[in-house]
Amino acid sequence: MHDVIARIEPVDFRMGQRAQAYLDTLTKPPGSLGRLEALAVSLCQIGDTLAPRVDPPGVIVFAADHGVAEEGVSAFPQEVTAQMVANFARGGAAINAFARQVGARMEVVDVGVAGVVRVPGVIDAKVRAGTRNFLHEDAMTEAEALQAMRAGALAVERARAAGCHSVILGEMGIANTTASSAVLAALLNHPVAALVGAGTGIARERLAHKIAVIERALAARGCGREPARVLAALGGLELAAMVGGFLAAAAHRLPAVVDGFIASVAALVAVRLCPAARAYLVFGHRSAEPGHAHALEALEAIPLLALDMRLGEGSGAALAFPLLRAACAMLRDMATFDAAGVAR
C-alpha cells in the first residue's frame, strides 16, 4: 500500500479559506448554513476546487467472516454473512434501498466470506475463507491483511473508473463488532468494557462474555499499537479492505463517507497509517455502538446524522449523502449578494 499512501497529498488550507470567503459572498447571513458550510469547505479542499462534485456516489460493501465468531460473540450465526451477500446481490438489504435512493453505483465484494459464494454480481476477491480465531492466533498474516487492503483500494479505483465522484464504504461480517472493538481497544489503549456494545443485539450475559473474549485476546496477541500489526492480529478482511478503500479514496481526492462503528475503526487505522488521509473523510452518522464515540473522538470527527442506528452495511453513510449533495448545490446554485442585488 506504500504506493497508494505516497499519492495522498495533504489538502490545501488556502483552498479552505477561499471556500469560506466565497460562502460569505452568498445571499445568506455569514455562517447561517452552519455545519453545511463546514462540509462545503471540506469538499472544496478534497477536490481542490470551489465547484466540488460528489455525484454519482459509489457504494462498496465488503463482506468477510471472522474466526472469533465461534466464541459465541454475535446474536447471529456465521452463515448470515453469506446469506446477506446474496441479499445484497438481489437488492433486498437496507443498503440497497438507500443506495438506490441516492442513485449510487453499488458493488459487493467478497474479501473473505467463509462459505462458497456463487452469486452473480458479487466480486470475488476472497483472500481466505474468514479470518482465524484471534483468541488463539493472529486473525491474519500481514500479507493477508495487505491483500485485503489492496482489494479495497482496487474496488475504489473501479468506482472512480466508472465515473463515481465519491465513495460510501460499507461492510458485512458476523462478529465484526468484536474484531472492531478489539482493534479500537489496542489502538487507543482503552479499557475494553467501555468500547464494547451489543452489536447485532446480544443479551447482557453474552456482552460480559464478549468483553472477556476481547480482553483475553488482547493479552494473548500482545500486538502493541502499530496499526498494520493491530489490523492483522485482531482485525478482519472486510475491515482491511475498508482501510485500503479509504486510503485509495484519499489518493484519488475522492470524498469518502464513513458509516458507523466498524467503518470508523477502519478509518482510524487508515488515518494512523497516513494522517493526511483524515481530510478526505466525511463522517455520515453516529452509531449507537458505544465504541463509536471513542473512535470519533480519536478522529476528531462529528458525524452529520445521529439516528440511533447500529446496522453497518454503509447504511448511515448513504443516508447522510444527500447533505454532501446539498453542500455542492449551495456552492453551485446560490446567488452572491452582488449578483442578486441584495444589500449586505
Ligand X SMILES: Cc1cc2ncn([C@H]3O[C@H](COP(=O)(O)O)[C@@H](O)[C@H]3O)c2cc1C
Ligand Y SMILES: O=C(O)c1cccnc1
User: Is 199 among the residues that bind ligand X (CB under 6 A)?
Assistant: yes
Residue closer to ligand Y by CB (options 133, 180) is 180
Helix or strand or coil: residue 60?
strand
Give the interface segment with ligand Y, choosing from 96-104, 112-120, 150-158, 254-262 (CB under 6 A): 254-262
Give the interface segment with ligand Y, choosing from 7-15, 25-33, 204-212, 259-267 (CB under 6 A): 259-267
Shortest Cβ distance from residue 123 to ligand Y (Å)?
Answer: 21
- The single residue among 80, 149, 196, 240 that binds ligand X, judged by CB under 6 A, is 80
> Phi and psi dihedrals of 138, rounded to 5?
-60, 140
CA distances from 307 to 24, 96, 100, 289 (A): 30, 18, 20, 12
Enumerate the β-bridge partners of residue 62: 109, 171
Shortest Cβ distance from residue 152 to ligand X (Å)?
Answer: 15
User: Is 289 among the residues that bind ligand Y (CB under 6 A)?
Assistant: yes
Shortest Cβ distance from residue 288 to ligand X (Å)?
Answer: 12
Shortest Cβ distance from residue 288 to ligand Y (Å)?
Answer: 7
Q: Is the peptide bond before 56 cis (omega within 30 degrees of 0)?
A: yes
Half-sphere exposure of 327 (CA within 13 A, CB side): 27
Q: Site mask, ligand Y, residues 166-185, x = CB under 6 A?
A: -----------x--------
Is 126 within 8 Å of 217 (Cβ atoms)? no
Q: Contacts with ligand Y in 187-206 (CB under 6 A)?
A: 199-200
Alpha-carbon span 200 to 136, nearest angstrom = 24
Helix or strand or coil: residue 124?
strand
Helices (H) and strands (E) in the chain, counts: 14, 6
Q: Contacts with ligand Y in 290-319 (CB under 6 A)?
A: 310-312
Annotated catalytic residues are 313
Residue closer to ligand X by CB (options 1, 192) is 192
Q: Contacts with ligand X in 275-314 (CB under 6 A)?
A: 311-313
Q: Which of ligand X, ligand Y, none interacts with 80 (beta carbon under 5 to 8 A by kind)?
A: ligand X
Position 305, amino acid = L
Q: Which of ligand Y, ligand X, none interacts with 175 (beta carbon under 5 to 8 A by kind)?
A: ligand X
Residue closer to ligand Y by CB (options 42, 81) is 81
Spatial neighbors of 18 by CB under 8 A, at least 6 apart, are: 44, 50
Using CB under 6 A, count the residues that bind ligand Y.
13
Helix or strand or coil: residue 202?
coil
Question: What burial class does residue 34 get, using C-beta atoms within 10 Å of its C-beta: 0-12 exposed, 13-18 middle, 19+ buried?
Answer: exposed
Helix or strand or coil: residue 53?
coil
For binding to ligand Y (CB under 6 A), which residues are involved?
Answer: 177, 199-200, 259-263, 287, 289, 310-312
Q: Which residues contact ligand X by CB under 6 A?
A: 74-76, 80, 84, 171-178, 199-200, 311-313
